[in-house]
Amino acid sequence: MLRDDIPSESGRGTAVAFATYGMWGLLPLYWKQLHEVDPLQIICHRVVWALLFAFLVLAARGRLGALAAIYRDRRRRGAAIAGGILIAANWGIYIWAVNAGFIAESALGYYINPLLSIALGALFFKESFDSFTAWAVAIAAVGVAAASIMMGVPPWISLVLALTFALYGAVKKKAGFDPVEGLAAETLAVAPLALAYLAAEHLAGRGALGGPGLKPNLMLVLSGVVTAIPLLCFGYASNRITLQRMGFVQYLSPSIQLVLGLVVYGEKLTPPLAVAFASVIAAAALYATTRRRAG
């Protein structure tokens, strides 16, 4: 094989990023099947089963010592704890929103997120922030502000989802964890709380796992794999491409979510959300079409 035929690290990272966001875009189909389960229990099951999955992968690779090494290092331990808290918060809001009928508003959050990733990339990683990028961020910010005025309150679901995931991406990039080691470290940080909550719910007779019906039980157990695979791909991609590129590949996911919300689940696109979507999509189009000129 010629050297030119070998995909670059950036090229592989971009391909994996597209796969990641495609999977995340389809996840509402999965979580909707668990609409009768308490969202907090779903989050806790995601944490516990994802940790078990990552632990088994590390054990198979003989890399359990790497997990211990992360927790012996103060800086890396802090990054793992921060990442675990941020992604758990993001999961919680997202699963609640999906099952409460706010898929479209959730999608808006993931449309906003790339613009926050751009800002974080410029602030913390010295990534370029040209005038076209500044205009894109400004257009999106004005649109979200206008939607907030029309609604009377900010679209808090969208904003919390955008902020928590943008910060999570920045923490992942700063830490530079191996994908499996990072997933294990992050989920380990929040697993004690997850296990305690699940134990309390089970003792109170409200535990979802072990209840009637094979389907919900199997889906809760498999939530670890469903959670882990896209996160591992995200960790791989985030270490190989810029936050700006990662952010704009992300538009694949909310686009799929928006179609699911409007077409599959019959949600309504309210005028304020329509204004926000239009502005953010316009901002994304401006950014994408000006990259060559900016370079």
- What pLDDT, in 10s, does the model give residues 86-123? 999 998 999 999 888 888 888 888 878 877 877 787 77
The contacts of residue 89 (CB under 8 Å, 6+ apart) are 160, 164
Q: Find the mean pLDDT for residues 76-83.
A: 94
Prediction pTM value? 0.81
Q: Find the mean pLDDT for residues 170-199.
A: 91
H-run or E-run covering 16:
helix 9-31
37 in any annotated domain? yes
Please classify residue 136 by burial: count the beta carbons closer than 10 Å to its beta carbon, then call 0-12 exposed, 13-18 middle and 19+ buried.
Answer: buried
Is the pLDDT score of 214 beyond 90?
no
Between CA 225 and CA 120 the distance in angstroms is 29
So what's the pLDDT on residue 174? 84
Give which of 198, 196, 171 is closest to 185, Cα–Cα.
171
Structural domain total, the chain: 1
H-run or E-run covering 136:
helix 131-151
Between CA 281 and CA 114 the distance in angstroms is 11
Between CA 254 and CA 280 the distance in angstroms is 12
So what's the pLDDT on residue 155? 83
So what's the pLDDT on residue 5? 44
**Residue in the block written with tokens 């689940």:** 265
Report the length, in residues, of the chain: 295
Q: Find the mean pLDDT for residues 6-29.
A: 86
Give which of 280, 78, 270 is closest to 162, Cα–Cα.
280
Q: Give yes or no for a contact between 184 and 175, defined as CB atoms under 8 angstroms apart.
A: no
What's the Cα-to-Cα distance from 254 to each of 51, 108, 110, rounded to whole Å?
26, 7, 6
Give which of 278, 247, 295, 291 is closest to 113, Cα–Cα.
247
Is the pLDDT score of 1 beyond 50?
no
2 in any annotated domain? no
Between CA 280 and CA 286 the distance in angstroms is 10
Is the pLDDT score of 2 beyond 50?
no
Is the pLDDT score of 282 beyond 90?
no
Q: Give yes or no for a contact between 137 and 118, defined as CB atoms under 8 angstroms apart.
A: yes
More confident call, 179 vs 202:
202
The angle formed by the CA atoms of residues 129, 130 and 132, to the nearest 5 degrees, is: 120
65 pLDDT band, cuts 50/70/90, is: very high
Question: Mean pLDDT for the chain?
Answer: 86
Is the pLDDT score of 140 beyond 90?
no
So what's the pLDDT on residue 3? 45
E-strand stretches of 68-194? none
DSSP symbols for 77-96: HHHHHHHHHHHHHHHHHHHH
Residue 225: count of CB within 10 angstroms of its CB: 12
So what's the pLDDT on residue 293? 61
So what's the pLDDT on residue 69? 93
The answer to whether the Cα torsion of 273, 254, 43, 68 is positive or negative is negative
More confident call, 169 vs 76:
76
**Residue in the block written with tokens 């296990």:** 195
Q: Which domain holds residue 40?
A: 8-294
185 in any annotated domain? yes
3 in any annotated domain? no
